Amino acid sequence: MLTINQSAPNFSLYDAHDILHKLDDYKGHWLVIYFYPKDNTPGCTKEACALRDNSAKFEDLNTRIIGISTDNSKSHLNFSQNQNLNFTLLADPKGEVSKAYEALFKLGPVKFSKRHSFIIDPTGKIAKIYRSVSPSTHSQELIDDLQQLQAEFNRQ
């Protein structure tokens, strides 16, 4: 069971342009990892577009965003281009990273990522876990929580 202040599970996944990304690539930055079920579906599009629209706020908070689903890189490229997304989408077709983050739903041959999110601090530790996410309000919720978490982190 993942908990706050535990090291985030490492990952090594390809993005829509077949570039490999690892958790260590984001050390020194705050990181939002959001898992989502499927590219180009209504809820996932709403959530991704809200994150895109708030990108300047995330940038001001020294925060990178990564979306992960079990869709493949080609699907991510299409979704990213269609929605003009300005953050990274990573392909987890085997569901291994989704499983490590306890975000994998599997029913027989069907598998997809549940709508779960994580804030990872600059040292690679889990700062916040979201197991219940509303696509329309989650982006602002992340911003509010990042402001609070960063204030606490800077006091340490």
In the chain, what are the domain boundaries? 25-155
Write down the catalytic residue from 8, 44, 68, 142: 44
Cα-based angle 74, 79, 84 (whole degrees, multiple of 5): 125
Give the mean pLDDT of the chain: 96
| Active site annotation includes 44 | yes
Q: Which residues pair with 126 in a beta bridge?
A: 120
CATH class, range 25-155: alpha beta
Closest CA to 89 of 110, 71, 68: 68
Q: How many other C-beta atoms are found inside a 10 Å radius of the C-beta of residue 132?
A: 9
Share of the chain above pLDDT 90, in %: 95
* Dihedral of alpha carbons 4, 10, 52, 153, sign: positive
Stated pTM of the model: 0.96
pLDDT (tens digit, 9 = 90+) per residue, 55-93?
A: 999 999 999 999 999 999 999 999 999 999 999 999 999
Section 7-29 average pLDDT? 96
pLDDT of residue 156: 79
